Amino acid sequence: MRTQLDDPKERPVSTTILSTRGLTKTYGDGESLVRAVDGVDLDVAAGETVAVMGPSGCGKSTLLHLVGGLDRPTAGEIHLAGRRVDQLTERTLARLRRTDVGFVFQAFHLMDELTVVENVELPALLAGRSPRAARARATELLRRVGLAAKAAALPTALSGGQRQRVAVARALSNEPVLVLADEPTGNLDSAATLDVLRLFEELHEAGQTLVIVTHDERIAATADRLISMRDGAFVDETRLTGGTSGRLGALAELEG
């Protein structure tokens, strides 16, 4: 059946997947009050890759944790795929974390006692998918990240770059509307960094929406938009106009 969206003219130019208004997170009080995130307004369009940079302690991780429902804001609004994340009950928030958001962390956070494929299928099982469907999806994702041959291995038998690719596959398990990556290449050498960046570029090409926190300017150069943070607030925003060719150029530069 044809829908209105089949006609390119009728397709919305850009749909906002994520937006925050006045997003604020404070820790402590009085003299020791820390404004980790301080009144942030952020809009991320569907299919966009946004990089967030800034000095250590400026609030990048806190921002990711808030928009992904890992942490609760002190004030402000978070809208993700049409839902008010900041108003969800704990139970609904837990479901959102499992199904709508995929997290990639610097330290991988894989379960070392589970095999690679078991790690990747776990979010789908927790979301209530049948073991057969979860395994099929995990196997497909491992093929996509180039690690089908490692399905039965334990994560400890893999290199850092391979572990991070497993973590990316796991993040995609429930087809999240948004992937959040916190220093995804922070623990990797340059060859492994390139592998992970290529993977993100493929996700980008496939229309995945991505927010990446990084200290590495070269990685930020592969995004559509770069946001600079300082003291909990956005201080600068640059649209990187190169598009796919620009991103591939940035990758080529990384390859030296």
Ligand X SMILES: Nc1ncnc2c1ncn2[C@@H]1O[C@H](COP(=O)(O)OP(=O)(O)OP(=O)(O)O)[C@@H](O)[C@H]1O
Binding site for ligand X (CB under 6 A): 27, 34, 36, 54, 56-62
CA atoms of 75 and 246, how far apart (whole Å): 37
Question: How many other CB atoms are found less than 10 A from the CB of residue 6?
Answer: 9
- Shortest Cβ distance from residue 154 to ligand X (Å)? 28
CA atoms within 13 A on the CB side of 247: 24
The residue (of 54 and 76) whose beta carbon lies closer to ligand X is 54
- Give the contacts of 232 (CB within 8 A, at least 6 positions apart): 25, 35, 36, 37, 38, 39, 40, 58, 59, 62
The residue (of 86 and 183) whose beta carbon lies closer to ligand X is 183
Instruction: Please state whether beta strands 75-80 and 16-27 pair in parallel, antiparallel, or not at all (unpaired).
Output: antiparallel
- Shortest Cβ distance from residue 24 to ligand X (Å)? 12
- Shortest Cβ distance from residue 56 to ligand X (Å)? 3
| Cα 184–Cα 112–Cα 119 angle in degrees, nearest 5 | 70
**Sign of the CA dihedral 164, 206, 64, 216?**
positive
The residue (of 83 and 225) whose beta carbon lies closer to ligand X is 225
- Shortest Cβ distance from residue 229 to ligand X (Å)? 7
The residue (of 66 and 110) whose beta carbon lies closer to ligand X is 66
The residue (of 60 and 204) whose beta carbon lies closer to ligand X is 60
Burial 131-164 (b: 16+ CB within 10 A, else e): eeebbebbbebbebbebeebbeebbeebebbbbb
CA atoms of 222 and 198, how far apart (whole Å): 10
- Shortest Cβ distance from residue 54 to ligand X (Å)? 6
Contact, 184 vs 223, CB < 8 A?
no
- Shortest Cβ distance from residue 109 to ligand X (Å)? 15
The residue (of 36 and 226) whose beta carbon lies closer to ligand X is 36
